[in-house]
Amino acid sequence: MGLFTGIEISSSALTAQRLRMDIISNNIANEGTTRSGQVDPNGRPVPYRREYPVFEAGVPFTTYLKGLGTKDANPGVKVKAILEDNSPFPLVYKPNHPDADLEGYVKMPNVNVMQEMVDLIDASRAYEASISALNASKEMSIRAIEIGKK
C-alpha cells in the first residue's frame, strides 16, 4: 500500500460523485424538454429521458492489501455506465403545445425534480464525506513525512 493510496481512493470517489451531480443537474435542466432529437415509430418527438450513473468498485480493498491485484488496478470507485431510465413518460394535457398529439396530450420527460433534488443532496453529502477522507489521508501523509525528517 502506497503513501498516497488513500488520496487516490478519495479522488476516485470525488470524481464519481461530481459526475453524478453533473448528470443530476442535466436531468433537472431538461425536465421540460419535450424533444430529444429522436422520434418514435409514429414520427412524434421523443422527450428527454432521465439518465443515471452506475458505479462499480475498483479492486476489492482486501485483494489490494494482500497484493493480489495488478499494479495498475486500484481500489476505489469507477463509473461503469451512464444509463437511461426506461420508466414511462408522463402525459400532460396541453392542447396548444406544438408536440401535443391529436387528443392534446404531450409526452413529458420522465424526470421527477423532487427525486433529483434528493439524489443531489445525497451526492453532495457523499462528496463532502470524500473530502473529509481526503483531508484525513493528506494529514496522515504529512505526518508520515514529518516523522521521516526527524
pLDDT tens for the chain, residues 1 to 150: 566 778 888 999 999 999 999 999 999 999 999 999 899 888 889 999 999 999 998 877 676 666 655 555 678 899 999 999 999 999 999 999 999 999 999 999 999 999 999 999 999 999 999 999 999 988 888 888 888 776
Do residues 69 and 61 make contact, with C-beta atoms less than 8 angstroms apart?
no
Q: How far is Cα 128 from Cα 135, in angstroms, rounded to an integer?
A: 11
Query: What's the confidence (pLDDT) of residue 65?
Result: 65
Residue 129's contacts (CB-CB under 8 Å, 6 or more residues apart) are none
| Per-residue model confidence as pLDDT tens digits over 115-135 | 999 999 999 999 999 999 999
Count of C-beta atoms within a 10 Å radius of residue 33: 15
Q: What is the pLDDT of residue 64?
A: 63
Q: Which amino acid, one-letter code, is at 32? A: G
The whole-number pLDDT of residue 141 equals 83
Q: Nearest to residue 130, comparing CAs of 16, 20, 25? A: 16
Question: Domain residues of the chain, as ranges?
Answer: 1-31+52-78+112-150, 33-50+85-110
Query: What is the pTM assigned to this prediction?
Result: 0.84
Q: Which of 46, 58, 54, 52 is nearest to 23 (CA)?
A: 52
CB 51 within 8 A of CB 87: no
H-helix or E-strand spanning residue 31: none
Q: How many helices (H) and strands (E) does the chain have?
A: 3, 4
